Amino acid sequence: MFAVAAESTMVLLRVRVLSTRHFSITRLLPDNNNKWHTLPPFSPTPTSLSASASTTALKWVLRCCPHLPKPLVHKLFRLRQVRRSSSPTIIKRVAAKDTLNSGDTIFLPLSVKHIPTEKKRHSDLTPQQIQFVRSLVLYKDPAVLVLNKPPGMPVQGGTNIKRSLDVLAAACLNFEYPDSPRLVHRLDRDCSGILVMGRTQTSATILHSIFREKTSTASDDIDAENRILQRRYIALVIGCPRRPRGLITASLGKVVVDNGKSDRITIVDNSTLLSSQHAITEYHVIGSSSHGYTWLELYPLTGRKHQLRVHCAEVLGTPIVGDYKYGWQAHRKFGPDNLSDVDSSEELCKEEMLPFGLTMNKGSISERCPRLHLHCKQIVLPNIYRALQDVQSPHYDLNQVGNLALTAPLPPYMQRSWDITNS
């Protein structure tokens, strides 16, 4: 038993060694519990007393806090910010799938009390904002909704994010469906392009399994015809890869920097480490310019965080334009000075302010601080709606249905960079 003093409150930690590399920490409840929002103690209903109908921590939070966005609740569990108390003195971290016992108490971060209700969050949208969100729709059927995500808009909500695409979709893109569209994959905040959402619980579950299985079963086989899911990104990079095409197989891992204030993804040489994740990217060179830039087609065979950005910067040695997190040094050598023959007048870069403070025109390579030039151009996936109509058995093969080939145009600033490098 170890005692650790934190300001004026004494917090006790009980450490139990599980193996040579793992240990669990149990925190004893402090007297002052002002940092947590406490939910009512779990009380099973008569229908949930059996093991087959057990209630998980996730279900209890959603039941007690119907006003909280589901993506936010999932994020709290993913970031390990949810606690459970099974006795008056002990509080532990709890996972979303952990089963609750009668009398268990769930604690959430106190900040969730300041999340506005669903009605309040949606009532302040202007007609222009609603029209803008609906203009992002590239395709919809009874099972799938596909958006052209604008750069600069976060996909998922959080405690410090006022507007995110999942919340806006729930407000504007139900199209008279009882359920809100559900995220099945993600794009970086500054990335643009195709974002797929499921319109029902069933279609979202199928789509999520497709994206997840794509990552877990990925191999070095680059035969695109055998892939049930295909994604094609367009990126502008600084420099030029040594080979015009290739396959990058490099595991990724997270490292903490700035004394724990932030983290970044990096290449992990020892892929046997528990924290590493295998990552595979296929790339093709589209063309190079005399200005020192190269356009690439990127095909991620796995879906890891910052995978394309790290593979381009650390493996190919050609960081993506506008990626200052992984390519800061390269950006110091490049800039508008390399484009002395390009007209960068304000008339060409005239900006139109869009709803939610978004901008789309400025940020090309003709400007001093270009934006991230990474765009999900195309996704090919099975026709989920047709599969749900034709399915006759639980082992239905999605390869037997037709594909949906979805394409999103480049944002204006990337299109201008394309025109500059191809002039």
Per the CB < 8 A criterion, the answer to whether 125 and 171 are in contact is yes
Q: Which residues of 292-308 are buried (b: 16+ CB within 10 A; e: fewer)?
A: bbbbbbbbbbbbbebbb
Per the CB < 8 A criterion, the answer to whether 398 and 177 are in contact is no
Run of H or E residues at 388: helix 384-390
Q: What residues are labeled active site?
A: 188
pTM of the model: 0.73
pLDDT at 138: 97
pLDDT at 26: 43
Run of H or E residues at 255: strand 252-257
- Which amino acid, residue 36? W
Q: How far apart are CA 313 and CA 298, in angstroms?
A: 13
Q: pLDDT tens digits for 200-232?
A: 888 998 898 898 876 666 666 555 566 789 999
Per the CB < 8 A criterion, the answer to whether 198 and 204 are in contact is yes
Which of 94, 77, 124, 72 has the alpha carbon at shortest distance from 27?
A: 94
pLDDT at 94: 92
- Can you list the alpha helix ranges (DSSP code H) found in 278-383? 307-310, 328-333
pLDDT at 24: 40
Q: How far apart are CA 136 and CA 145, in angstroms?
A: 10
pLDDT at 65: 84
C-alpha angle 138-78-371 in degrees, rounded to nearest 5: 45
Per the CB < 8 A criterion, the answer to whether 187 and 376 are in contact is yes
Q: Helix (H, G, I), strand (E, B), or coil: what is residue 158? A: strand
Measure the CA dihedral 310/316/320/325, to 10°: 40
Per the CB < 8 A criterion, the answer to whether 191 and 182 are in contact is no
Whole-angstrom CA distances from 378 to 30, 51, 143 are: 52, 44, 19
Name the token pair of 9.
């409150």
pLDDT at 139: 97
* Regions of the chain with pLDDT less than 50: 1-32, 46-52, 118-121, 345-348
Run of H or E residues at 140: strand 137-140
Q: pLDDT tens digits for 12-32?
A: 333 333 332 333 434 444 444
Using the structure block, give the residue that is written with the tokens 């609750």.
Answer: 100
Name the token pair of 25.
């920490």
Name the token pair of 239.
């420099």
Which of 277, 187, 234 has the alpha carbon at shortest distance from 373?
A: 234
